[in-house]
Structure 1
Amino acid sequence: MKIIILGAGQVGGTLAENLVGEKNEITVVDCDTSCLRELQDRFDLQVVEGYGSHPDVLEKAGAEDADMLIAVTSSDEINMTACQVAYSLFHTPTKIARIRSPNYLKYKEKLFQSQDVPVDYLIAPEQLVTNYIRRLVECPGALQVMEFADGKASLVAVKAYYGGSLVGHALSTLREHMPHIDTRVAAIFRRGRPIRPQGTTIIEADDEVFFIADTKHIRTVMSELQRLEKTYQKIIIVGGGNVGLGLAQALEKSHPSVKLIERNPQRAEYVASELAKATVFCGDASDQELLSEENVEQTDLFIAVTDDDEANIMSAMLAKRMGAAKVMVLIQRGAYVDLVQGGDIDIAISPQQATISSLLTHVRRGDIVNVYSLRRGAAEAIEAIAHGDSSTSKVVGRMISEIKLPPGTTIGAVVRGEEVLIAHDDTRIEQDDHVILFLVDKKYITDVERLFEPSPFFFF
């Protein structure tokens, strides 16, 4: 596939890194020569210097025969204009734009149409990050929560702790502990390296365990791997930007005490006017006196989501030292995420990974309806819809044991209508099933895509 990426920043660069090894022809456009040079030195791709919305720049980037344009510059206006130019002059089949401003998103249903602003798929980073954090808040103790099939099934990452009833035992004992609940461990990462889960695999303390189950059973399964955390009652959010405000609006409906700290007086006043129950304070979250006044030592969850990585880290570390039970931070720089998570910082959240996951959903071939980028892009969780029949599909009509899965790939579950079926060797895939797969090595993604592309010429 020939793909043009506009923007060589953190999102554009990470996206290029994810796609360049998958037999795609990638061209990155940006005005920053140093960013382009760095990408070209690291990856096998083309670069073009210039404004991505200018017709001559798009032409130089190969827009005339490009399959897809992905506009992820820091400017909503440049992203929208580039999609318009690609549509009007070059008839680019698929156009994706990152749009951040709520003023545009408020009218997205009317605005982003072919006859108006021709954007095929809209990526709203702040909304994606807000939803990502909300899922973590709703599932205390989880490191990641990924929903599939409209929330019917969930893939959850947890850290196995000493004291968990499964630690020190083989995976085959999972059914003994929970005879009435079906679940499957899709992957285990031990000291950063993937371990293929088998019945004889012994779960060790500090293992990062990814399991899949019917969403309504998630909490029960988590209790087998770690001490089950109570539902968060008292929450402090730091930062009144789009993410902080959206998060406060989502959480104030279901949590008894939500406080938000914003240092800008004008923004604090605006945020307060947009919230119904949450309390807004104007001040610096790294001010020990302010945190003490707001009883941070009684806080169940402290979430720092300003646009300043250092401020987020420092305020969260201070809150943890002062007694906050759990802290989460939003970190823009991907290199920081692994550095800080697991010490004083319980969970570090990368907005780039949330954005990349949404972008990959639209880039993948076959009927891929959900993609989650995991472990800094090294692994992926995918939801694919099975189409065709036994004569045109490599999966439909076959038991999982008969499907030739690429190395390191496991099928975790199948969602059929309203029913969540945990995958076993004798589970047979039917037409229109939503199949949830986990790849510990994403270099095989092309092979997975081919599995779910029905062909009239395929014969088993």
Structure 2
Amino acid sequence: MNILILGAGRVGESVAESLVSEKNDITVIDQDPGRLRILEERLDLRGVVGNGIQPSVLREAGAQDADMVIACAAADESNLVFCKIAHDLFNVPTTVARLRSPEFQAGEPLLDKEGFAVDHVICPEESVMKYIHQLIEYPEALQVLQFAQGRASLIVVRATSGSALVGHTIAEFRELLPDLEMRVVALYRQDQEIAATPATRILPGDEVFVLADSSKIRPVLAGIHRLDKPVQRLMIAGGGRVGLRLARSLVSECEVKLIERDVRRCEYLASQLPSSTLILQGDGADEDLLLDENVGDMDLFLALTSDDEDNILSAMLAKRMGARRVMSLINRRAYAEMMQGSTIDIAISPAHTVIGELLAHVRRGDVAAVHSLRRGAAEALEGVARGDAKTSRLVGRKVQDVPLPEGARIGAIVRGAGEDSRVLMPHHGTLIESDDHIIIFIPHKRLVREVEKLFQVSATFFG
């Protein structure tokens, strides 16, 4: 696929990196030649220096041959105009825009083809907020990802000593919880994937990937992991866009303290949040401040400033001072990979939270959802089986006969729509039906194209 990206900032860079690894033809437009030079040296892509809202720059970047444009510039107005020009002047089929303002929502007339011609809206701050919210709801999990409009969920947990899972094989664990339909789709030990067979024995520290009916997540987690108490007291360092959105969403659920360094921002936060939210002017890495505000009594400490180093330091300090669980927003991939699972319980990458949203639009075939796993190395993909036995590689076939690439595996099937839908844990003989939503774990991104082909309907396929 030929894709144009506007903006070589953190989000644009992460998007480009993810899409380049899948052998797409990527061109990045930015006004900073230094940024583009660094990207061109590191990734197999082309950089075009210039203002992306100028038609001449889009023409130089090859907009006339583009299949998709993704606008990731810092300013909403630049992204809106970029999509409008790409659609109206160059007939680009698909436009995606990063829009921070809540005034612009997907599906509104202002964004339709007669308006700014934005097909899909992404908002990293909103995505990060929702991601954190899931982790707060299920504090035992490292990740909680939803499929089939929330009907099925993939949960990632770290096996801990004393839990029901540790010391048992996967088959024995299923016997311990016979009433819970679930499937272990992957297992990682010391950052290496190991075969998740019925005879595989779980050890402390293993990362376990489990697919289950969303309504069964709580009892499944109870069986896998020692249940943590709900988050009732929470401290946020950083009152920026993410911090404000998160505080707003949590004020009715738990006690929130918010630390912000800038005085004017504190005044704005106080005007936007109810009086029950305590706004503190200060530094999240100030030991005296944390001590005065009883950080050791916090169920969760979140470092959400725009500075990676500040976030890492404040989260590590809060953990040392007794906070039960700490999370840190970390933009740089090297930092995130280094800190994940260390003193910091969960390192959150803003870019990775939106990659899945983008990938669902890039995927070929009828792909409904994509979630990036293992910091982009693996993927969980939800596709819809269409057609019939003559036109589909899936419909009318048993699971054992589906030509999956080596290593990829079907984790669950969601059959039916709405309240009548069912989450199935398929076996070798399960027959795939038309309109089934199939969730597949893909351990290596190089296998994605082969999996995508399974969801493409062909009038001439008789395999």
Which TM bucket (shorter chain)?
over 0.9
1:192 corresponds to: 191
Q: Which amino acid aligns with 1:60?
A: E
1:442 corresponds to: 445
Q: Distance in 2 between matches of 1:302 and 1:218?
A: 24
Q: Which amino acid aligns with 1:446?
A: R
Task: Note the alpha carbon deviations across 1:230-266, whole angstroms, 9 max, x for none.
Answer: 11111111211111111112112222x1222222222
Q: Distance in 1 between matches of 2:292 and 2:41?
A: 51
1:24 corresponds to: 24
Task: Note the alpha carbon deviations across 1:332-373, whole angstroms, 9 max, x for none.
Answer: 111111212222211110001012111111111112111111
5 Å matches for 1:258-277? 258-276=256-274, 277=276
SS in 1 for 2:462: coil
How far has the Cα of 1:176 moved from its partner?
Answer: 0.8
How far has the Cα of 1:186 moved from its partner?
Answer: 1.0
Residues 141 and 157, structure 2, Cα contact 8 Å, conserved in 1: yes
SS in 2 for 1:105: coil
The yes-or-no answer on 1:68 pairing with 2:71 is no
How far has the Cα of 1:108 moved from its partner?
Answer: 7.0
5 Å matches for 1:82-97? 82-97=82-97
5 Å matches for 1:290-305? 290-305=289-304
1:59 corresponds to: 59
Q: Distance in 2 between matches of 1:443 and 1:126?
A: 29
1:364 corresponds to: 363
SS in 1 for 2:108: helix
SS in 1 for 2:311: helix
How far has the Cα of 1:13 moved from its partner?
Answer: 2.3
Q: Which amino acid aligns with 1:264?
A: D
The yes-or-no answer on 1:209 pairing with 2:212 is no
The yes-or-no answer on 1:315 pairing with 2:314 is yes
Q: Distance in 2 between matches of 1:323 and 1:23?
A: 46
Q: Which amino acid aligns with 1:181?
A: L
User: Mean alpha-carbon deviation: is it higher for 280-289 or for 52-61?
Assistant: 280-289
Q: Which amino acid aligns with 2:66?
A: A
SS in 1 for 2:171: helix
2:324 corresponds to: 325
How far has the Cα of 1:107 moved from its partner?
Answer: 9.0
Residues 196 and 408, structure 1, Cα contact 8 Å, conserved in 2: no
1:240 corresponds to: 239
The yes-or-no answer on 1:228 pairing with 2:227 is yes
From 423, 431, 434, the counterpart of 1:428: 431
Residues 153 and 213, structure 2, Cα contact 8 Å, conserved in 1: yes
How far has the Cα of 1:422 moved from its partner?
Answer: 1.6
User: Mean alpha-carbon deviation: is it higher for 110-119 or for 144-153?
Assistant: 110-119
Q: TM-score, normalized by length of structure 1?
A: 0.96
Q: Which amino acid aligns with 2:231?
A: Y
After the TM superposition, list the runs of 4 or more consecutive aligned residues in structure 1 that deviate by more than 6 angstroms.
none
From 431, 456, 460, the counterpart of 1:457: 460
Q: Distance in 1 between matches of 2:148 and 2:352?
A: 20
Q: Distance in 1 between matches of 2:209 and 2:196?
A: 10
How far has the Cα of 1:304 moved from its partner?
Answer: 1.2
How far has the Cα of 1:37 moved from its partner?
Answer: 2.3
Q: Unpaired segments of 5 or more residues in structure 1?
A: none
Residues 11 and 356, structure 1, Cα contact 8 Å, conserved in 2: no
Residues 6 and 72, structure 1, Cα contact 8 Å, conserved in 2: yes
How far has the Cα of 1:310 moved from its partner?
Answer: 1.5
SS in 2 for 1:360: helix
How far has the Cα of 1:160 moved from its partner?
Answer: 0.9
How far has the Cα of 1:313 moved from its partner?
Answer: 1.4
Task: Note the alpha carbon deviations across 1:151-209, whole angstroms, 9 max, x for none.
Answer: 11110111111212221221111221101001101111111112231111121211111
Q: Which amino acid aligns with 2:93?
A: P
Q: Distance in 2 between matches of 1:292 and 1:458?
A: 67
